[in-house]
Amino acid sequence: MDITRKLEILADAAKYDASCASSGAARKDSRGSAGVGSTGGMGICHSYTPDGRCVSLMKVLMTNACLYDCHYCINRRSSNVTRARFTPDEVVKLTLDFYKRNYIEGLFLSSGIIRSADHTMELVIEVARKLREVHQFRGYIHLKTIPEASQELIALAGRYADRISINVELPSQQSLNTLAPEKNLARTEEAMGHIRGKIEERHAEKRKPDAPKPPPFATGQSTQMLVGADASTDAVILGCADKLYTSHRLRRVYYSAFSPIPEPSSILPLKAPPLIREHRLYQADWLLRFYEFKVEEIASTAAPNLDLALDPKLSWALRNRATFPVDVNKAPRELLLRIPGLGVRNVERILAARRYTRLRLADLVRLRLQMKKLLPFITTADHHPARLGLDSDSLRARFLPPPEQLEINFDAPPIPATSDFFSVRSGEL
Amino acid sequence: MRTILIEPEYEAWRAAARQLLAQGVAPEEVLWTDDRQEASLFVGESPPDSAAVQGASAIKVPAAFMDLARSVAAHTDARRWGLLYRVLWRLTRGAERHLLAMATDRDVRQLQDWGKAVGRDIHKMHAFVRFRLVGTDVATGREQFVAWFEPEHRIVRLAAPFFEKRFAGMDWSILTPYECAHWDGTRLHFTAGVSRSSAPDEDALDDLWRTYYRNIFNPARVKISAMQSEMPKKYWKNLPEASLIAGLIAESTGRVQGMLETEERAAKPAPNNAYLKSLHAMNQSEAAAQNHESDLA
């Protein structure tokens, strides 16, 4: 099989991993070496595909042959997909060739599991080792790790990689038992705990005065959860994400709405979830990480699923109308962050400006805020919303998107409309 | 009213602005231009000789403003020199030292917008430059690459250090219509702009790159507007992969339909593999332990 055919199969096999991030790596570059590569600061998206996703890393599998039978995955052993396998040297050459042409920021390498977890990890690590040690490659490397691999191998992967990750895939063991019988949540979390320990250990070493610089280690770990393949509610998914952020200090949790694959399994649900659900989960995730929200405030046991029609911050505000209106000239930061339509950056701008002036509506217009969304929830020097408006039930109706006419085609199952699609990166509020 | 003619560069504006500020010339009294023809319509005046001005060095300006000014200077809007001087005046003579904290101020907001546009242009240059291999230096054995790029603003000098750090191990040139940057392993230097025809059109690897692009695309998630907001069409003509976009969009509906019509596969039994058996055993004993725990509770 030639390299073009292998790349077709092993890129296609890797595209269901949403993460392509190349940010948050330690600062390093190629000056003074015979190689290429630099990392640090924000990542760069070198291209975009028509699915709205960023192409930052060359995302491929070492092989798409796999012992596991995860029913949402095109590479599971029961699938009839064509199998292929790269040699480590082929991946090394592709990475360097692509990198030198400025197509990519680096490599995202994962693999189907063959023979054993350790054997597979060794193949993946060999690519990273060659890139770093033989070719002095200083670009970004993201390695997927397997929880059951030995701790020594995971530590070695971390030495060569800027980021390592293990996918949780589903938020409960019960769901895994049905859809991914080889996977185990407890072992995944245990491995994440070890990785967290390594990352923090190196961080502490680096801070010691006069100590020699410790060997490099990945600066972060991330994971991915599949949405809509099992019956888990948003509250369960967000609860799992929150636990991973707090107990294992993950950099990112990616949410991937299960979408049709070319080799469907009989165990999977027939209907893919609306992509808007994935988008709402990203918005909720942002609220957890940057807006000081708690999971129970966004998705509670009483209402465990996010409102698909409204963003979760607006939805919270409508459920907590007594909190509003908020005075933008006086309210503390944490309260400003709760105002629908006001993002973190604009909160900082308001805090800076109000030290010197009493803000009026015209000032907010100059910040290009979404005034229609904002007005019912704030007071300024020259604006006090009518209490009646804020308490009125019509407030929710005001924010709902206009009704859409449904087209029903009885011959073909519905394909989500273009408006249902949201890019992974659009989770920002 | 006086007209000040400068080269379209940050350093030129800075030198002139220092002199004017030291002389106490108010912003309303200055017409700035970097266009010689336009300047000749008025009585063009070069900035005053720096030695002749006393006290220019005593002016204190927030460092954040100088950073912002450096970016804004690379913008192509002709009004930028005058607005930079007005904000400089307000920060110093106008006693509004806190001015940059006021994102609600019209002038500040305009400068920030221009600065942001320049920052975005730099970022897109870092992203969308495509190097083409043109040969190998016989003496050094270093690979030589050439790229063509059309930035919107005058950013080549601001964007070049990134390429020096990233591609230290290869020789490269980035050609643009107004200025070119070159790296030979020891020195970064700049030459005048050239035309598109000076740069190679393709690279032997472009086909393999298009193979990757085609296969990493997921036809079940088409979101064209998200792609275009980050990769506007004006960049497409210099991106080898962009020629695939129309075709990928056109065939996506049919491909998804094909997936939905595919007959579902039944699960295959587990192969005889020692590792897989140990995994299943581990899962069973863990499940049993958990059941036992919940029995106790």
Name the closest residue on chain A to residue B283, using Cα atoms.
A184
Between chains, do A77 and B268 touch, taking CB under 8 Å as contact? yes
Q: What digits encode the pLDDT tens for the residues A16-44?
A: 888 888 888 989 999 999 999 999 878 99
Q: Is residue B110 part of a domain?
A: yes
How far is residue A225's CA from residue A91's CA, in Å, rounded to a whole number? 27
Q: Is residue B291 part of a domain?
A: no
Please indicate if any CB of chain B lies within 8 Å of the CB of A151: no
Q: What digits encode the pLDDT tens for the residues B203-231?
A: 999 999 999 999 999 999 899 999 999 99
How far is residue A421's CA from residue A417's CA, in Å, rounded to a whole number? 7
Domain span at B56 = 2-123
Q: Considering only CB atoms, which chain A residues are within 8 Å of B245?
A: 50
Name the closest residue on chain A to residue B127, using Cα atoms.
A46
Domains of chain A, by residue range, sit at 3-195+207-215, 312-402
| Sign of torsion over alpha carbons B214, A161, B130, A47 | positive
A107-111, A409-413, B104-108, B181-185: least confident range: A409-413
Q: A314: buried, middle or exposed (CB in 10 Å: 19+, 13-18, 0-12)?
A: buried
Residue B44 pLDDT level (bands cut at 50, 70, 90): low
Q: Considering only CB atoms, which chain B residues are within 8 Å of A37?
A: 166
Q: Is residue B68 part of a domain?
A: yes
The H-or-E segment that residue A220 falls in is strand A220-227
- Predicted local confidence at residue A413, as pLDDT: 40
Last residue of a domain, one of B123, B141, B163: B123
- Predicted local confidence at residue B58, as pLDDT: 65
* CATH fit for domain A3-195+207-215, picks 3.30.300, 3.40.50, 2.60.120, 3.20.20: 3.20.20
- Predicted local confidence at residue A426, as pLDDT: 33
Last residue of a domain, one of B85, B108, B123: B123
Please indicate if any CB of chain B lies within 8 Å of the CB of A344: no
Please indicate if any CB of chain A lies within 8 Å of the CB of B265: yes
Q: Single out the residue of B245, B143, B248 nearest to residue B204, CA to CA.
A: B143
Please indicate if any CB of chain B lies within 8 Å of the CB of A390: no
A101-115, A192-206, A282-296, B172-186: least confident range: A192-206
3-state secondary structure of B282: helix
Residues B68 and B19 in one domain: yes
Q: Is residue B292 part of a domain?
A: no
* φ/ψ of residue A42, rounded to 5: -80, 150
Q: Which of residues 29-68 of B touch A (CB under 8 A)?
A: none
Q: Which of residues 75-94 of A touch B (CB under 8 A)?
A: 77-80, 94
The H-or-E segment that residue A144 falls in is strand A140-144
Q: Considering only CB atoms, which chain A residues are within 8 Å of B126?
A: 44
Q: Is residue B250 part of a domain?
A: yes
Count of domains observed in chain B: 3
- Select from A34, A262, A355 the Cβ nearest to the Cβ of B101: A355
Q: Is residue B178 part of a domain?
A: yes
- Predicted local confidence at residue A21, as pLDDT: 86
Residue A423 pLDDT level (bands cut at 50, 70, 90): very low
- Predicted local confidence at residue A407, as pLDDT: 47
Which of A27, A48, A134 has the highest number of chain B CBs within 10 A, making it the mutation to test binding with B?
A: A48
Neighbours of B49 (CB within 10 A): 8
The H-or-E segment that residue A248 falls in is helix A234-248
Which of B97, B99, B100, B104 has the highest number of chain A CBs within 10 A, making it the mutation to test binding with A?
A: B104
Q: A199: buried, middle or exposed (CB in 10 Å: 19+, 13-18, 0-12)?
A: buried
Residues B12 and B114 in one domain: yes
Q: What digits encode the pLDDT tens for the residues A274-309?
A: 889 999 999 999 999 999 999 999 999 899 999 999
Q: What digits encode the pLDDT tens for the residues A195-249?
A: 999 999 998 888 888 888 888 899 899 999 999 999 999 999 999 999 999 999 9
How many CB pairs (< 8 A) connect A and B? 243
Please indicate if any CB of chain B lies within 8 Å of the CB of A402: no
Please indicate if any CB of chain A lies within 8 Å of the CB of B152: no
Last residue of a domain, one of B95, B123, B151: B123
* Residue appearing with tokens 């912003």: B27
Between chains, do A426 and B226 touch, taking CB under 8 Å as contact? yes
Q: Considering only CB atoms, which chain A residues are within 8 Å of B133?
A: 100-101
pLDDT of A57 strictly over 60: yes
Residues B159 and B175 in one domain: yes
Residues B29 and B73 in one domain: yes
What average pLDDT does range A128-147 have in this prediction? 97
3-state secondary structure of A57: strand
Please indicate if any CB of chain B lies within 8 Å of the CB of A140: no
Residue A391 pLDDT level (bands cut at 50, 70, 90): low
A208-222, A372-386, B30-44: least confident range: B30-44
A127-131, A144-148, A220-224, A404-408: least confident range: A404-408
Q: Which of residues 178-237 of A touch B (CB under 8 A)?
A: 181-182, 184, 186-187
Between chains, do B259 and A260 touch, taking CB under 8 Å as contact? yes
Residues B104 and B29 in one domain: yes
**Contact (CB, 8 A) for B226 and A230:** no
- Select from A35, A173, A275 the Cβ nearest to the Cβ of B169: A35
Side-chain-side CA neighbours of A269 within 13 Å: the count stands at 14
- Predicted local confidence at residue A412, as pLDDT: 44
Residue B267 pLDDT level (bands cut at 50, 70, 90): confident
Which of A74, A100, A359 has the highest number of chain B CBs within 10 A, making it the mutation to test binding with B?
A: A100
- Predicted local confidence at residue B234, as pLDDT: 94
Please indicate if any CB of chain A lies within 8 Å of the CB of B243: no
CA distances from A331 to A209, A320, A334, B272 (A): 42, 16, 8, 65
- Select from B129, B133, B217 the Cβ nearest to the Cβ of A49: B217
Q: Single out the residue of A228, A254, A229, A260 nearest to residue A240, CA to CA.
A: A254
Residues B15 and B86 in one domain: yes
